[in-house]
A = this chain, B = another copy of it.
């Protein structure tokens, strides 16, 4: 089996991404919610039809597309009409099946509507640029984690090919989801995430400092969005797996 598909490697990639996600949420949370940056025309950007944050996300993805970010199987853009890469391909073959699964639209919606309101205290503090730049970091980190579900699904499929194939042929989504779910592992993950959030969100030099984001809020973001989204990607991937 290829290294990228070994469960211990996938597991350690997902665990390391927890730091990236928690750091990026803590960074974003120092600024206000600044809802104006998410509203179409809230801050008017010349010749761009969309919000201020989307303008920066779009420009950032165009730049990163030039250097081949989105040809990597674990990277997924939020925007469309990206330019062709100007770097030649490294030509690595891909450890998972070719697919077009991308649930970033859903991630973006949940991020703006459900995550920003619970991690930021202040309403509008005028830090629009900093907020949007930090949004991009957080969105990219969450997207990477969620779409890593493809690797998880491929590894699980290879470990239980016969059973999964049967369920996939029967389009039995409920049974696939049940087979994908390990509640004990999820519970352990949520505890670890809460502990990390408590550790990284504290001021270690200040006694009884308030956490920059309450640890249970980050746990809830994992429980309600990041884990379910990852499993959704796993399911979508498996449903296409026999094609």
Q: Mark A124-159, 1 if CB is under 8 A from B, else 0.
A: 001011001100010000000000000000000000
What residues of B have a CB within 8 angstroms of the CB of A27 in the complex?
Answer: 19-20, 23
DSSP majority for the A interface? helix
A64-B199 contact, Cβ under 8 Å, with A27-B23, A43-B87, A86-B45:
no
Beta-carbon contact of B129 and A64 below 8 Å: yes
Q: Which of B30, B46, B56, B196 contacts A204 (CB 8 A)?
A: B196
Q: Which of B63, B200, B212 contacts A63 (CB 8 A)?
A: B63
Is A59 an interface residue, CB under 8 A from the partner?
yes
Is A171 an interface residue, CB under 8 A from the partner?
no
Is A68 an interface residue, CB under 8 A from the partner?
yes
Beta-carbon contact of A199 and B202 below 8 Å: yes
Is A111 an interface residue, CB under 8 A from the partner?
no
Q: Tell me the bound Cα distance from A179 to B191 in angstroms.
A: 50
Q: Mark A180-199, 1 if CB is under 8 A from B, else 0.
A: 00000000000010011011
What residues of B have a CB within 8 angstroms of the CB of A192 in the complex?
Answer: 205
Is A67 an interface residue, CB under 8 A from the partner?
yes
A-B contact pairs, 6 of them (CB 8 A): A16-B30, A45-B87, A46-B87, A56-B64, A64-B133, A69-B129
In the A-B complex, the 8 residue pairs with the closest CB atoms = A59-B63, A199-B204, A23-B23, A46-B86, A192-B205, A195-B204, A200-B200, A69-B129
